[in-house]
Amino acid sequence: MNMDITQSTMIELRDAIAAKQVTAHEVTEAYLQRIAALNDSLGAYTQVFAERALQRADEVDAGKVTGALAGVPIAIKDNLCTTFGRTTCSSKILEKFESPYDATAVRRLEAAGAVILGKTNLDEFAMGSSTENSAFAPTRNPWDTTRVPGGSSGGSAAAVAAGLCAAALGSDTGGSIRQPAALCGIVGLKPTYGLVSRLGLVAYASSLDQIGPMTRSVSDAALLLDVIAGHDPLDSTSADDDARGEGVDYLDTLGQPVDKLRIGLAKQYISDANDPQVNAAIDAAVAQLREFGAEIVEVDLPHTEYGIATYYIVATAEASSNLARFDGVHYGHRTDKPEDLIDLYAASRAEGFGDEVKRRIMLGTYTLSSGYYDAYYLRALKVRRLIKQDFDQAFTQCDAILCPPTTHPAFAFGDKTDNPLAMYLNDVYTVNCNLAGIPGLAIPAGFADVDDHRLPIGLQLLGPTFSEARLFQIAAALIGDQPAPLADYRLPG
């Protein structure tokens, strides 16, 4: 069969392998060759498991490995635990850490026959919006390598957009799947909290973190979610299977017609501060939905403006607690020749953590400290509840809310590194989704012209809990199921 392997979707590759039109070995080899050629300058992968991937592909070709993803090459974010390779979270403190177990999402991928190519770069411990905070090297946006790919799942987004894998897993605590998906021009889903097991996802903020798919098409995202979703008895926050509707198959329901659709527009998400091309993409989507017969409903989310402040109290408080385990004794880096136990803790953490992680630990420790707990943390939890109630009320009027995932296309390296608040505000349209525990889907919406470059922009669909099937249907109505174009990325020079 004459096919361009790295231009193909996940489902196309799966079907071609199953029909023996191409071997899993040939598919894996094609991606490994592309990684070898492009990754050094792109920085998408932190580790590549070439020998293991080819061995796995050979087992697929021999019929020893089967499943819904048999032979499909996938990348996983380097904050997902694996018994192979290292699990670094792009941090020096975990640079040599080898996990004794696999994350549930990884186990489910492999049970479905996927070939895991490697682990992708991220902002250290998933704390960032640009993948500039990696302890090893930044990841570059394949559409313009002078710009960021977004974060924290920037490595996964860049790998998918540049054709270095057929699909990838990311994690989303405050927009870390949806924002880089939008900036790299791909599909990215933050599932309902609890839909995908968090077992083996190195925790940043436990009440916000979720694992989700990053792909080039809506149907690929639906299939990947089918594989990784479902109850996990080893995760106490994992939702029961009947919560999402018994027997729901996201890929099978994708092609079903969507009737009497009501789409909400919230004034809080449409701002003059947005790039005009971002607002124009929303207007175009609204016009397209009206052509499909959808009713456009104005909804109010009055507590939206408090989302960033609430998020950066709740998330940093949980990070302060979660990252206390990395102390030079239990896990990770240990300083050489400490003077005493206190020096062991202090020096190990100072040497192992980067500046942004230290900043968030200090913020979280402060908000949890005596005298400030009630004023900051408890108040933030109350506002979080109000944000959730805003969404609950809005979804009595509409099936989904259409909004931008980002205010602008990808920004240049260094533009926001000296101003943490400006970097945090980059997530203004994504954090409330995590605070409310609802699903959010980012999809490509074309390109913006910025400084003689065509840069991707995206749309975001927010829905009630466990409405992923409906969000996929709306997305397919908007953009069809043609795969997003690969970035025309070449080696410099």
Say if CB 68 and CB 59 are below 8 A apart: no
The two tokens of residue 391 are 């969404």
User: How many CB atoms sit inside 10 A of residue 7's CB?
Assistant: 12
Say if CB 203 and CB 81 are below 8 A apart: no
Whole-angstrom distance, CA of residue 211 vs CA of residue 191? 7
Between strands 73-77 and 400-403, the pairing is unpaired
Whether residue 152 has a cis bond before it, omega within 30° of 0: yes
First-last CA distance in the chain: 32
Give the list of residues 6+ apart from residue 33 with CB closer than 8 angstroms, or none. none
Using DSSP's 3-state secondary structure scheme, residue 234 falls into coil
Whole-angstrom distance, CA of residue 157 vs CA of residue 149? 7
**77, 119, 190, 416: which one is catalytic?**
77
**152, 197, 219, 238: which one is catalytic?**
152
152 is catalytic: yes
Say if CB 151 and CB 132 are below 8 A apart: yes
> Which residue type does 7 have?
Q
176 is catalytic: yes
Question: Is the alpha carbon torsion for 34, 96, 130, 427 positive or negative?
Answer: positive
77 is catalytic: yes
Using DSSP's 3-state secondary structure scheme, residue 459 falls into strand
User: How many CB atoms sit inside 10 A of residue 279's CB?
Assistant: 17
**91, 156, 171, 176: which one is catalytic?**
176
> Which residue type does 75 have?
A
Q: In what order do the strands lie in the sheet with 453-462?
A: 45-48, 115-120, 73-77, 167-172, 210-215, 187-190, 440-450, 453-462, 400-403, 262-266, 295-299
Q: What are phi and psi of 459, to 5 degrees?
A: -115, 155
Between strands 453-462 and 440-450, the pairing is antiparallel
Q: Exposure pattern of 126-152 as b/e (b: 16+ CB <10 Å)?
A: bbbbbbbbbbeebbbbbbbbebbbbbb
> Which residue type does 57 have?
A
Say if CB 44 and CB 122 are below 8 A apart: no
Question: Is the alpha carbon torsion for 216, 222, 223, 228 positive or negative?
Answer: positive
Whole-angstrom distance, CA of residue 186 vs CA of residue 192? 20
Residues 62, 65, 67, CA angle at the centre, nearest 5°? 130
176 sits in the region (left: phi over 0; alpha: psi -120 to 50; else beta) called: alpha
> Which residues have a catalytic role annotated?
77, 152, 176
